[in-house]
């Protein structure tokens, strides 16, 4: 199927995608404008759900740290410990460098690093699992919203 300028313009107008994104979506969906629009909306919402999961995880850690319930932050790559710091030091970074902490947590999660916090009682909380649960919840809400949007 030949992709026309009109098709590209419609996808861009309906999604806010760039020219390259619209073209790629149309190509991936055999020139179907509707399928390309739905595909781009789904990608955008999945990206938002991941960002929300990261922010929710950061808020969880901040809340626990502010209450004095955490003692350590541990980041591992396979069996190698990359970072193991007391939360007193870690909280400073979390509170004053929020953007960099979110970006760092995102990068670590995407790169398959294992991220844990340790409570004062010695219990380890795996933040990867926490983020995955948060992402699934948001994705379900987004999917339901998109499904409702498609039926209208």
Reported as a single tens digit per residue, the pLDDT across 93-115 is 555 455 446 666 677 767 778 88
pLDDT, tens digit, for every residue of 57-93? 778 877 887 777 878 878 788 888 887 887 765 555 5
Residue 102 lies in a domain: yes
pLDDT-derived band at 147, boundaries 50, 70, 90: low
Number of domains in the chain: 1
Residue 139 lies in a domain: no
Residue 148 lies in a domain: no
Residue 42 lies in a domain: yes
Q: How many residues does the chain have?
A: 152
> What is the chain's alpha carbon radius of gyration, rounded to the nearest angstrom?
20
Residue 149 lies in a domain: no
61 closest CA partner among 127, 108, 114:
127
Q: Does the structure show a pLDDT above 90 at 5? A: yes
Cβ–Cβ < 8 Å for 44, 121: no
139 — alpha (psi -120 to 50), left (phi > 0) or beta?
alpha
Residue 151 lies in a domain: no
Residue 88 lies in a domain: yes
Residue 94 lies in a domain: yes
Q: Bridge-partner residues for 53, per DSSP?
A: none
């Amino acid at each position: 199927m030949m992709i026309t300028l009109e098709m590209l313009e419609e996808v861009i107008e309906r999604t806010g995608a760039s020219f390259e994104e619209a073209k790629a979506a149309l190509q991936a969906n055999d020139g179907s404008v509707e399928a390309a629009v739905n595909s781009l909306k789904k990608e955008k919402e999945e990206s938002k759900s991941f960002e929300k999961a990261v922010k929710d995880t950061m808020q969880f850690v901040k809340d626990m740290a502010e209450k004095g319930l955490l003692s350590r932050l541990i980041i591992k790559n396979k069996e190698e410990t990359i970072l193991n710091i007391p939360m007193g030091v870690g909280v400073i970074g979390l509170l004053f460098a929020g953007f960099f902490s979110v970006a760092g947590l995102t990068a670590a999660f995407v790169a398959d690093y294992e991220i844990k916090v340790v409570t004062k009682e010695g219990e380890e909380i795996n933040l990867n699992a926490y983020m995955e649960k948060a992402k699934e919840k948001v994705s379900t809400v987004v999917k339901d919203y998109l499904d409702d949007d498609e039926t209208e």
